[in-house]
Amino acid sequence: MASFHARSNSLPSTSHPFVSEFDEKLCRLKASETASSSSSSISHKLSGLQDLHECVEKFLLLPFSQQALAQECGDKGINELLDGSLRLLDVCGIIKDALLQTKECTHELQSIMHAQKTRR
């Protein structure tokens, strides 16, 4: 009577910390959707989007993620995905900087207007 040993390829019972971090950031971003559309709120939302994007990028850079992507779409697809990810991150950073600069200019204008009002 022959006996054999079989191994199962089971998935880990706990998810990777990046998955939990992603879920947390996504929930925070979804919760901010109901906030106002002021420049500080938009800046906060963009910051949340940038955090979420960075979390996804870190997850995509993990060896097992790259291996799965390589099997699915090949090296060219991975490079295109990572390039697109970097471009999106750059755009979020640029928009965030522009909104912060707009906010600073708005505060300056408010100060000038307040000073003009008090001189009268």
* Tens of pLDDT, residues 47-82: 888 888 888 788 778 887 777 777 776 667 777 878
Mean pLDDT of the residues in the chain: 75
* Overall average pLDDT of the 90-100 stretch: 85
Model confidence at 29: pLDDT above 70: yes
For the chain, percent of residues with pLDDT exceeding 70: 75
* Overall average pLDDT of the 89-96 stretch: 84
The pLDDT score that the predictor gives to residue 5 is 45
Q: What does each C-alpha distance from 56 to 23, 32, 61, 97 come to in angstroms? A: 10, 19, 9, 21
Nearest residue to 88 (alpha-carbon basis) of 57, 110, 58: 57
The pLDDT score that the predictor gives to residue 9 is 44
The pLDDT score that the predictor gives to residue 11 is 46
Nearest residue to 85 (alpha-carbon basis) of 119, 57, 43: 57
The pLDDT score that the predictor gives to residue 117 is 82
The pLDDT score that the predictor gives to residue 51 is 82
